[in-house]
């Protein structure tokens, strides 16, 4: 049973560019959440998608947007990249029907903005 799959694993972009990160949730999960983890810090919640809609959003600017597809996979888009967007981006899947909304994390995409 595959867990959460994220692609690419590493990415280098130039300031001002746009980036798209991808996530395939664990089998049986219908909810995808995205987190940003700066070096040496805990993950920060970006947003959560369920039934192809953004359900919750953290304190991130509109430059951060996402999408969920009918097969539950998801994309995170970041426009007008800033140096401060350099971080590990984590995708976590879960199911609304779960007893405690148990999250499974992917290994993340390491984004470096130069």
Partner 1 sequence: GESVGLHLPTLSVQEGDNSIINCAYSNSASDYFIWYKQESGKGPQFIIDIRSNMDKRQGQRVTVLLNKTVKHLSLQIAATQPGDSAVYFCAGIGYNAGNMLTFGGGTRLMVKP
Binding residues vs partner 1 (CB under 8 A): 4, 33, 35, 40-45, 48, 55-56, 58, 90, 92, 100-108
CB of 18 to partner 1, least distance (A): 24
Toward partner 1, which CB reaches closer, 20 or 103? 103
Under 8 Å between Cβ of 96 and 30: yes
Alpha-carbon distance of 20 to 32, in angstroms, equals 15
CB of 96 to partner 1, least distance (A): 8
Under 8 Å between Cβ of 50 and 56: no
Under 8 Å between Cβ of 87 and 72: no
CB of 16 to partner 1, least distance (A): 28
């Amino acid at each position: 049973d595959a867990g959460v799959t994220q692609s690419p694993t590493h990415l280098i972009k130039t300031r001002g560019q746009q980036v798209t990160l991808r996530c395939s949730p664990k089998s049986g999960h219908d909810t995808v959440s995205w987190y940003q983890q700066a070096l040496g810090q805990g993950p920060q919640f970006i947003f959560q998608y369920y039934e192809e809609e953004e359900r919750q959003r953290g304190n991130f600017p509109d430059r951060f947007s996402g999408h969920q597809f009918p097969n539950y996979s998801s994309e995170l888009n970041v426009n007008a990249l800033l140096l401060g967007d350099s971080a590990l981006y984590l995708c976590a899947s879960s199911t609304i029907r779960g007893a405690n909304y148990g999250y499974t994390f992917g290994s993340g995409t390491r984004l470096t903005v130069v």
